[in-house]
């Protein structure tokens, strides 16, 4: 699986997984992390489809979803841009973080761990320096 750079975005497409979700997830995370700046122009549907060698309809569907997320906006005749609203990106990131935490908590509870145990694991992970990128 090779990494492909398209404008400010980079993608790693695995043809053994549904393509739509990969494009959507990778673009969402690039915007949430600020890899592509607020107000910056997104690659056109055509450009992305050409670089990734995939059906433009698949790219278009992912772009529509990004717009519904409030992460991008279409400007008439100019293409798609990352939202210029830091609030939109922040609230999307918060919502996504909440979703990840819910599923993490559910998995931990399925292991029969108490909140104290979970806290201890998370702290231990943070102290050993392997967790996250210092957020």
Partner 1 sequence: MIPNIVECHQVTKRYGQKIALDRLELAIPAGRITGILGPNGCGKSTLFRTLTGMVRPDEGRVEVLGKTPGWRTNQSIAYLPDRARWYPNHTARQALEWGNSFLPGFSMERAIQLADEMEIDLDMRVGGMSKGQEARIMLILCLARDVDLVVLDEPFTGIDVMSREAIVASLIDFLEESEQSILISTHDIQEVEGLFDYTVMLKEGRAIWSGNSEDLRAEYGSLRNVFRKLYAKEWND
Q: Which of 2, 3, 16, 130 binds partner 1 (CB under 8 A)?
A: 16
Question: Half-sphere exposure of 107 toward its Cβ, with a 13 Å CA cutoff?
Answer: 6
Task: Name the H helices within 1-135.
Answer: 19-33, 45-52, 56-69, 86-110, 115-127
Q: Which of 7, 8, 20, 108 binds partner 1 (CB under 8 A)?
A: 20
Write down the least CB distance from residue 14 to partner 1, Å. 8
How far is Cα 81 from Cα 36, in angstroms, rounded to an integer? 10
Our finding on whether 94 is near partner 1 (CB under 8 A) is no
Our finding on whether 9 is near partner 1 (CB under 8 A) is no
Write down the least CB distance from residue 58 to partner 1, Å. 7
Subset of 46-65 contacting partner 1 (CB under 8 A): 46, 49-50, 52-58
Please give the distance of CA 43 from its chain centroid, rounded to a whole number: 16
Task: Estimate the crossing angle of helix 19-33 against helix 86-110, to 10 degrees.
Answer: 120
Q: What are phi and psi of 7, to 5 degrees?
A: 60, -130
Q: Which stretch binds partner 1 (CB under 8 A): 44-52, 85-93, 104-112, 113-121?
A: 44-52
What are the residues binding partner 1 (CB under 8 A)? Answer: 13-20, 45-46, 49-50, 52-58
């Amino acid at each position: 699986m090779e990494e492909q750079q398209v404008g400010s975005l980079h993608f790693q497409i695995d043809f053994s997984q549904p393509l739509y979700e990969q494009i959507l997830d990778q673009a969402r995370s690039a915007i949430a992390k600020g890899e592509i700046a607020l107000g910056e122009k997104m690659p056109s549907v055509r450009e992305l489809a050409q670089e990734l060698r995939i059906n433009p309809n698949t790219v278009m569907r992912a772009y529509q979803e990004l717009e519904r997320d409030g992460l991008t906006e279409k400007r008439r005749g100019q293409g798609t841009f990352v939202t210029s609203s830091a609030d939109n990106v922040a609230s999307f990131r918060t919502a996504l973080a909440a979703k990840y935490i819910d599923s993490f908590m559910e998995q931990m509870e399925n292991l029969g761990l108490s909140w104290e145990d979970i806290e201890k694991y998370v702290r231990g992970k943070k102290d050993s320096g392997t967790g996250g990128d210092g957020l």
